[in-house]
Structure 1
Amino acid sequence: MKTAYYKYFAALLLFGSNGVVASHIALPSYEIVLLRTLIGSLFLLAVFKFSGQQLTFYQNKRSGLFLCISAVAMGASWMLLYEAYQQVGVSIASLAYYCGPVIVMILAPLLFNEGLTWTKAAGFAAVLLGAFFVNWQALDDGKTVWGLFCGGMSAIMYAIMVIFNKKAKNISGAENSLVQLFGGFLVVATFIGFKQGFTLQLTTVNWLPVLLLGLLNTGVGCYLYFSSITVLPVQTVAICGYLEPLAAVFFSVLLLHESLQPLQILGAMLIISGAVFGECAGQSKAVQQKH
């Protein structure tokens, strides 16, 4: 369990830097996601084959179906998120995106029989208030409604991704990550094919950030992420996941010099403190009950 926590936190830090890396890629958001999922899938396929493993997800039709639904949701979520990056900036898009765990937390008692304690409920009330402050200030500052809509829809797709991946109990580790990421690539490729055909303008692209985003942030990051969330409780995944927007905001302010208004800073503090309180208080209570 401790190893799963370490892998999960490492994945969140990598994902938190996605917006910064993507800001150095002069391509439309959809094409960035296409390259990201393609390179990440090829990397995981090479690792999977090198380790001598065999694909087995199709043998369990129920778990395989859940994993495919999760993959479709992930592809859609990433396209919406990267569009939001370009419309409203990395920090605002990341905080809007991470309203997704709120949805997961609300549904967890119904779908996974995980009790919702008052500490977790209080923590998520703070998270919701923080998300409201962040998005209300963004609208007040003239941010596009389309950008905020994309951020909100990416949050819904995130929740679907986590819930159905968690239900694919018999598929874990590298296989889970490979199928998930390749499925996401197929979704993005299909969308782009219908939208514009496969005419990508890659001649002037800086390939260093593209490869960094695909190999490290996506290939390694997805392996760490999906091999850990199948082990961790779904509410822990939802709450601790707020380390990612915290990292995204920190990186965007530090490296991209994006600015946050006072109300947005307050919203970010509420989101992070609410998430930390909900998880840490719940863990402390669980330990006390054991003793």
Structure 2
Amino acid sequence: MKLSGTSTGLLAALLASASFGTSGVLAKPLMESGWSPVATVTLRALGGGLLLLPVALVSMRGRWSSLWRARSRVLVMGVVGVAFTQLAYFAAIRTVPVSTALLVEFLAPLLLVGLTWARTRRTPQRTVLAGSVLALAGLLLVIGPGAIRSVDLVGLLFAFGAAAGCATYFAVAARSGDGLPPVALAASGLLVGGVLLGAVGAGGLLAFTVRGGDLPMFGSPVVWWVPLLLLALVSTAFAYAMGITGSELLGSRLASFVGLLEVAFAALFAWLLLGERLTVLQLLGGVLILAGITAVRAERVTEPEGQVAELAEPAAVEPVKVPVALDHLHSKAR
């Protein structure tokens, strides 16, 4: 059975969400052994980019001109979608709770809805508005109702900066007119972002600490590079390649709503691999996010053909979704 472009895009976006959702359980052993968040995400981005590089080179088939045409997209993906999103998130969690920062950052789909509204001057259909409400409610249940609280204004602004960076990631990923293959955009963007994050760490703006030797992982001692390799391969290289592919096929808005499932997958993997508590409210939250995605998807089906093409265009980036735990549950690195 041959899948349609939309079905393929949904599958790719779902695989990306699941892969990004593993970042917390894979980064946790490193950070608990003394690795700083910036060091973890820098080596994750560089490792993911290097792992994708051979595949990216093959996918380009000598069409180097496409890389030049996509140079602005690569730079925005690396600088904003990868590096800026991570730095803004880290700055936010210095003064606001992790759960609050995550909730604000994952408002990226709503930013895309609002930007499309402003750009087209056309009120979103009720299905999109209903889907936005359902997805936001589901996100709140998965992260925890305690995410809504009085917080530091500066930290909150940084969190909104991370949300803008995340929205930019989806927008840049969806613009495919330059002919650059998704895996090539993922590889080049990760390498650019990783180098920039490394420069920040080397400059002493944020702590850059690594530790060698063995560390505990899922109850067994492993050498330090094992979780780092899995983090770079599964949570970064594969996740970004699938995420960008899904965004190109679905458009930035729908892909960003599917991306909300990352939080639900993170909770699921923490329960399966770390034995952390998975509540009924979190399960309900996952169901609400799925309902929200279904509602947003329904608009694309009911719109006239010409308007569907417009909605598929990007309206306005984690993971690198960045490794920082939410009650040792979620790692955000986009």
Task: Normalising by structure 1, report the TM-score.
Answer: 0.78
Partner of 2:229: 211
Query: Which residue, 79, 83, 90 being the options, matches 1:75?
Result: 83
Report the alpha carbon displacement of residue 12 of structure 1 after superposing the two structures with TM. Answer: 1.3
Q: Deviations over 1:60-116 (max 9, x none)?
A: 2xx421331122112222345577789856x77654432111112221344589972
Partner of 1:278: 295
Q: Alpha carbons of 1:192 and 1:113: their partners in 2 closer, same or farther (altered >3 Å)?
A: farther
CA contact (8 A) 2:130 2:292 kept: no
CA contact (8 A) 1:37 1:184 kept: yes
Report the alpha carbon displacement of residue 30 of structure 1 after superposing the two structures with TM. Answer: 0.6
Query: Which residue, 194, 202, 219 being the options, matches 2:211?
Result: 202
Q: Give the AA of the match of 1:156.
A: A
CA–CA distance in 1 between the matches of 2:234 and 2:283? Answer: 32
Q: Give the AA of the match of 2:41.
A: V
Q: Give the AA of the match of 2:266.
A: A
CA–CA distance in 1 between the matches of 2:173 and 2:302? Answer: 28
Report the alpha carbon displacement of residue 29 of structure 1 after superposing the two structures with TM. Answer: 0.8
Report the alpha carbon displacement of residue 188 of structure 1 after superposing the two structures with TM. Answer: 0.9
Partner of 1:185: 194
Q: Give the AA of the match of 1:223.
A: A
Structure 1, 196-205 or 5-14: larger mean CA deviation: 196-205
**Correspondence list, 1:77-96, <5 A:** 77-81=85-89, 94-96=102-104
Structure 1, 71-80 or 190-199: larger mean CA deviation: 190-199
Q: Give the AA of the match of 1:183.
A: V
Partner of 1:169: 177
Report the alpha carbon displacement of residue 213 of structure 1 after superposing the two structures with TM. Answer: 0.5
Report the aligned-residue RMSD: 3.8
CA–CA distance in 2 between the matches of 1:152 and 1:259? Answer: 29
State whether structure 2 residue 54 is matched by structure 1 residue 35.
no
Percent of residue pairs identical: 20
Q: Give the AA of the match of 1:179.
A: S
Q: Give the AA of the match of 1:158.
A: C
State whether structure 2 residue 81 is matched by structure 1 residue 64.
no
Query: Which residue, 231, 237, 254 being the options, matches 1:236?
Result: 254
Q: Alpha carbons of 1:138 and 1:70: their partners in 2 closer, same or farther (altered >3 Å)?
A: same
Q: Alpha carbons of 1:284 and 1:33: their partners in 2 closer, same or farther (altered >3 Å)?
A: same
SS at match of 2:203: helix
Report the alpha carbon displacement of residue 33 of structure 1 after superposing the two structures with TM. Answer: 0.6
SS at match of 2:29: coil
Query: Which residue, 146, 157, 165 being the options, matches 1:157?
Result: 165
CA–CA distance in 2 between the matches of 1:182 and 1:18? Answer: 18
CA–CA distance in 2 between the matches of 1:246 and 1:280? Answer: 19
Report the alpha carbon displacement of residue 179 of structure 1 after superposing the two structures with TM. Answer: 1.8
CA–CA distance in 2 between the matches of 1:84 and 1:18? Answer: 19
CA–CA distance in 2 between the matches of 1:122 and 1:36? Answer: 36
Q: Deviations over 1:16-53 (max 9, x none)?
A: 11111111113111111101011111111122335573
Report the alpha carbon displacement of residue 165 of structure 1 after superposing the two structures with TM. Answer: 3.3
Q: Give the AA of the match of 1:235.
A: R
Task: Normalising by structure 2, report the TM-score.
Answer: 0.69
Query: Which residue, 129, 133, 147 being the options, matches 1:121?
Result: 129
Report the alpha carbon displacement of residue 284 of structure 1 after superposing the two structures with TM. Answer: 5.4
Q: Alpha carbons of 1:118 and 1:103: their partners in 2 closer, same or farther (altered >3 Å)?
A: same
CA–CA distance in 2 between the matches of 1:84 and 1:46? Answer: 35
CA contact (8 A) 1:169 1:230 kept: no
Partner of 1:104: 112
